[in-house]
Amino acid sequence: MLERLIASNPWWMNPTAIEQDPHIRAWTDGPIRWMPRIAIEIDLSLPGIYTIRGPRQVGKTTALKLMIRRSIEEAAGEGVMYYSCDLDSDPDAIREAVQTAKRLRPGVKRWRIFLDEVTSISGWEKGVKWLWDNTDARRDTFVLTGSSAVDLMRGTDRLPGRRGNVLRPDRILLPLSFPDFARLHGVPPPLMLRPDEFLNADVQDELVPLLAYLPELEVLFRRYLRVGGFPAAVLDEYASGHVSDSTLRTIWELVENELQRQRMDPVRAFRVIEHLVRALGHPSDWASLAETIDADRRTAEDYARLLALTFVSVILYKADPRRPGPHLRAQRKLYFTDPLFAYLPMRVRQSAAAPEIPDLVENAVIMGLFRCEEQPRAESFLIPQALFYWRSKSGGEVDALTGITERVAVEVKYRRHVGAKDILALTRSFPRGIVVTQDLLDVQDRRYPKVPAAMFLWLLAGESVVPGR
């Protein structure tokens, strides 16, 4: 362990050695690069325990290394330790690594401790808990990542009262959103709006001159629907114009590994993803999913929940008409967290299940709203609390109701011409709402403005990245 620890922390001897770290070098040398806001905004000066969750290959280790570089620059008097747990199996390895680091540098009074892949260790939280309870580690800052979002969530649940007084200790790192994708390709959004602000007359007037950006945005949006926001996929497309088969296989293999870790059958999970592609945007129940995977209803629900917990999908529930929150017995919709997941059946397994553009657009809108309203709540991938779909007793449906205190209705009609009949479910049931179209911007009816999908998503607020520097 001592050899690994010293090799992993060359900046103890030379602070500039962080610039030669493989992840930092790959980030620095990339043709385009970006920095997740969590790498900038997490307050590392306060004692506490942060976790960073998210799908595999989304850049969690790179985010850690960027935080280490930041720590070396801004806190020269503090210890900075990085340790990857992927070769360990005993929670005591965490205790030993931290205490060994402190023995090597006895003059350091406070540490920033970055533990990568902690979920490689079953019961990892026991090591962190022991340090917090029995040593001076409660003055330190811990940042933990893990490839198993399930195990990371379970572990943090066993650390009550030991997280410190930090803001939002559990963070989510997702693939790039569309406004991030546009920002990296030279078209930064001039506004960042919440859904209800699109219903403000002054804001609607500001949209009109932004039509000049629409042709370029539509090109970028079509690219985004093919590529998504995983770093490897974005770099593939930037270099060659398409996402390589090897990148897609890697993403699927990592999903498979997590499923096997949770003792689930990857074949059945693949059928769930196929079902999701075919049913994208349409309500379904666990019984129909169970039939697809040749299992009982409870097993189908378990697979859908696991895909949500591993950040492959989001489960969208119908709004409960009787009380705030989801109608848990009603049919639900499943959406992908990133467009690239929708291509896995077709590209990796040569399945006939192929995504349609209007469905991918609806998926992108739902995830844009999710990032805006739900991302700060790490548990929301299982049961969102501020985003639902709506259906009337007569069968009329609206794609999204978003917001906690005041809900905003959003209907996706990805077509060039949208008439009054196309949005009857919206106008009959809600006094105001947003209509997301293909390329039509019409704000004459202030109650139901029509906004092109690329423009709507470009301006939609949410946690974002900043261009690398």
What pLDDT does 17 receive? 96
| Higher pLDDT, residue 270 or 69 | 69
* Max CA distance (Å), the chain: 73
CA-wise closest residue to 49 among 150, 172, 161, 147? 161
Higher local confidence (pLDDT), 229 or 160: 229
Q: Answer for the pair 149, 310: CB distance below 8 angstroms, yes or no.
A: yes
Average pLDDT over residues 225-244: 95
Residue 120 sits in the same domain as residue 187:
no
**Claim to verify: residue 109 and residue 243 sit in the same structural domain:** no
Summarised one tens digit per residue, pLDDT across range 47-76 is 999 988 888 889 999 999 999 999 999 998
Please state the rounded mean pLDDT for residues 344-360.
Answer: 92
**pLDDT one-digit tens code per residue, 124-137:** 899 999 999 999 99
Q: Is the pLDDT of residue 434 over 60?
A: yes
Q: What is the pTM of this model?
A: 0.91
Chain segment 243-258, per-residue pLDDT in tens: 999 999 999 888 888 7
Residues 410, 277 within the same domain:
yes
Closest to 254 (Cα-Cα) out of 177, 154, 147, 409: 147
pLDDT at 380 over 90: no
The yes-or-no verdict on residue 175 having pLDDT over 80 is yes
Closest CA to 198 of 184, 183, 213, 210: 210
pLDDT band of 392, cuts 50, 70, 90: confident
| Residue 226 reports pLDDT greater than 70 | yes
pLDDT confidence tier of residue 190, bands split at 50, 70 and 90? very high
**Tally of structural domains, the chain:** 2
pLDDT of 364 over the 60 cut: yes
**Local confidence band at 149 (pLDDT 50, 70, 90 cut-offs):** low
Range scoring the smallest mean pLDDT among 45-49, 211-215, 306-310, 311-315: 306-310
Which domain, by its residues, includes 453? 178-467
- Say if residues 398 and 432 touch (Cβ distance below 8 Å): no
Same domain for 192 and 46, yes or no, is no
Residue 379 has pLDDT above 70, yes or no: no
d(CA 309, CA 422): 35
Together in a domain, 327 and 386: yes
Residue where a domain stops, chosen among 157, 172, 187: 172
- HSE, CB side, 13 Å, CA atoms: give it for residue 404: 7
Q: How far apart are CA 12 and CA 104, in angstroms?
A: 10
259 and 145 part of one domain: no
The answer to whether the beta carbons of residues 316 and 374 sit under 8 Å apart is no
Q: Which two tokens stand for residue 267?
A: 């074949």
Burial state string for 387-424 with b = 16 or more CB within 10 A and e = fewer than 16? bbbbbeeeeeebbbbbbeeebbbbbbbbeeebeeeebe
Please check whether residues 149 and 283 belong to one and the same domain: no
CATH number, domain with residue 98: 3.40.50
Same domain, 97 and 61: yes
Q: Count of CB atoms within 10 A of residue 22's CB?
A: 10
Last residue of a domain, one of 172, 193, 222: 172
Decide which of 146, 172, 198 is a domain's last residue.
172
* High-pLDDT (> 90) share of the chain, %: 65
pLDDT surpasses 90 at 349: no
The pLDDT value recorded for residue 469 is 55
**Quick check: 367 pLDDT over 90?**
yes
Whether residue 28 sits in one domain with residue 125: yes
Give dist(CA 121, CA 94) in Å, integer.
9
Confidence of residue 164 (pLDDT cuts 50, 70, 90): confident
pLDDT band at 311; cut points 50, 70, 90: confident
Together in a domain, 167 and 217: no
H helix or E strand, kind and range, residue 370: helix 357-373
Question: In this structure, are 201 and 136 located in the same domain?
Answer: no
Question: Model confidence over 70-109: pLDDT tens digits?
Answer: 999 999 889 999 999 988 889 999 999 999 999 999 999 9
Considering only residues 397 and 158, tell me which one the structure prediction assigns the higher pLDDT.
397
pLDDT above 70 covers a percentage of the chain that reads 97
Give residue 382's pLDDT band: very low, low, confident or very high (50, 70, 90).
low
* Dihedral pair phi/psi, residue 84, rounded to 5°: -95, 130
Question: What average pLDDT score do residues 339-365 get?
Answer: 93
Q: How far apart are CA 400 and CA 416, in angstroms?
A: 20
Q: Mark whether 205 and 294 lie in a shared domain.
A: yes
